[in-house]
Structure 1
Amino acid sequence: MKIGIMQPYFFPYIGYWQLINAVDKYVIYDDVNFKKGGWINRNRILINGEAKFINLKMKGASPNKLINEIEAANDKVYNRKLLTTIDKCYKKAPYFNEVFPIIREIINCDKKNLANNLEYSIRRISKYLSINTEIIISSNISKNNDLKAQDKIIEICRILGGSEYYNAIGGRKLYSYKKFSESGIELKFLNTDPIEYKQFNNDFINNLSIIDVMMFNSKEDINDKLVKFKLL
């Protein structure tokens, strides 16, 4: 049983979706502290040929709160401006007509809890990409919440019957192959292969939001890209 566990991110890059697609059970890690300046509430899209941030507006965000203790603002005026920005940036993209209604549905989602809002986004895009991985919410798992870092991850894997744990390559410094092995779990890191596609007539900019990937690629092309990675 392959397990993946990550915090919920705002329209994350393709590597995030590769991880979800690669495992049998994916855990949205919603009961850990919010990280300011990370990817939970922001990502980058192509604006006038450059990578620029877009943000999910929040209420009461603090690194002293868990992700699922923070509210999404659901500011209709702000959301309308955000959608206008995305519209202007990608109106001429080949898959705009197919993708923009999904983005609009997600941004206009009325779920007030930040974790629930992001969960909705992850499930909706997974459905569009035909990713059938079982998605589980961390806070719904009965576990020892006094455990920290990799010990908590190992317990979640154990509870879910995991024999393999996949993590994004950025977590290599956080986890020990030996520690996982001693717990009967094989630790693997997913490293995304170089991925390029045509972004209008601009020089390619990588690691943008999945919005960018979806606007410029068919579902079939994205599915091909979802398996372009190596396990380390």
Structure 2
Amino acid sequence: MHAPYFKQTFPLVEGIVQYKNTNLFCFLHHSISQICEHLDIKTNIKISSDIAIDHSLKNKEKVLALCKAVNARTYVNPIGGIDLYSKETFEHENIELKFIQTKYFEYPQFDEEFLPWLSIIDVLMFNSLDKIQSHILTNYELI
């Protein structure tokens, strides 16, 4: 038995898994790019090592340098970093700091009890592209 959107998702997964470059960064970048293309996400993904800053910087200093180099007015970090960065530190540099928190997203997984937060592959296998795109646009909170 296949998941409802197996036929539209499996070629994507197969293309990602069969990617020939053995460099982990290249593999992950390709994976993210392919998923974005599949979901029609148009965000311009920049490789931080291609941005002219002092790459010996670490932590918030590096993030701030990257933000300044691309003239960012807002920096959005995953919610897991809420204890790492201070809004005041970013405000001092005229950059607004936000944290993104994904909202709970439940969907049928065959006739089984729902298991949340499994993977993007699970989301793609069990949801239409329209539904996923709608959730991408609305199913989060900025803190």
Per the normalisation by structure 2, the TM-score is 0.97
SS class of match (2:57): coil
Letter of the aligned partner of 1:184 in structure 2?
A: N
Structure-2 separation of matches of 1:96 and 1:108:
17
**1:44-83 equivalence runs, <5 A:** none
Per-residue displacement from partner, 1:57-103 (whole Å, max 9, x unpaired)?
xxxxxxxxxxxxxxxxxxxxxxxxxxxxxxxxxx5100001100110
Given the alignment, which residue of 103, 115, 118 partners 2:28?
118
**Are 1:230 and 2:141 counterparts?**
yes
Q: Distance in 2 between matches of 1:101 and 1:117?
A: 16
Structure 1 vs Structure 2: percent identity of aligned residues? 40
More helix by share: 2
Cα distance in 2 between the residues matched to 1:214 and 1:165: 27
SS in 2 for 1:151: helix
**What's the secondary structure of 1:135's corresponding residue?**
coil
Asked if 1:203 corresponds to 2:123, the answer is no
Whether 1:129 aligns to 2:56 is: no
Q: Distance in 2 between matches of 1:113 and 1:199?
A: 33
Higher strand share: 1
Q: CA deviation at 1:224?
A: 1.3
Structure 1 counterpart of 2:71: 161
The alpha carbon displacement at 1:141 in A equals 1.1
Matches within 5 A, 1:1-232: 91-226=1-136, 227-232=138-143
- Over the residues paired in the alignment, what is the CA RMSD in angstroms? 0.8
For 2:111, the aligned partner's letter is N
Distance between the aligned counterparts of 1:118 and 1:191, measured in 2?
A: 22
Structure 2, unmatched stretches of 5+, are none
- Match of 2:24, as an amino acid? L
3-state SS of paired residue (1:102): helix
Rounded to whole Å, the distance in 1 between the matches of 2:43 and 2:63 is: 19
1:124 is displaced (CA, Å) by 0.4
Given that 2:49 and 2:55 are in contact with CA atoms closer than 8 Å, whether structure 1 keeps it comes out as no
Equivalent-residue separation in structure 1 for 2:130 and 2:21 (angstroms) = 30
CA distance in 1, matches of 2:126, 2:49: 35
Shift of 1:168: 0.7
For these two proteins, the number of residue pairs brought into alignment is 142
CA deviation map 1:43-66 (0-9, x unaligned): xxxxxxxxxxxxxxxxxxxxxxxx
Following superposition, the deviation at residue 215 of structure 1 comes to 0.1
TM-score, normalised by the number of residues in structure 1: 0.60
- For structure 1, the residue ranges without an aligned partner over 5 or more in a row are 1-90
Report deviation, 1:140. Answer: 1.0
How much does 1:146 deviate?
Answer: 2.1
Q: Which ranges of 4 or more aligned residues in structure 1 deviate by more than 2 Å? A: none
Aligned mates of 1:132, 1:104 — CA distance in 2:
22
Q: Quick one: which amino acid aligns to residue 214 of structure 1?
A: L
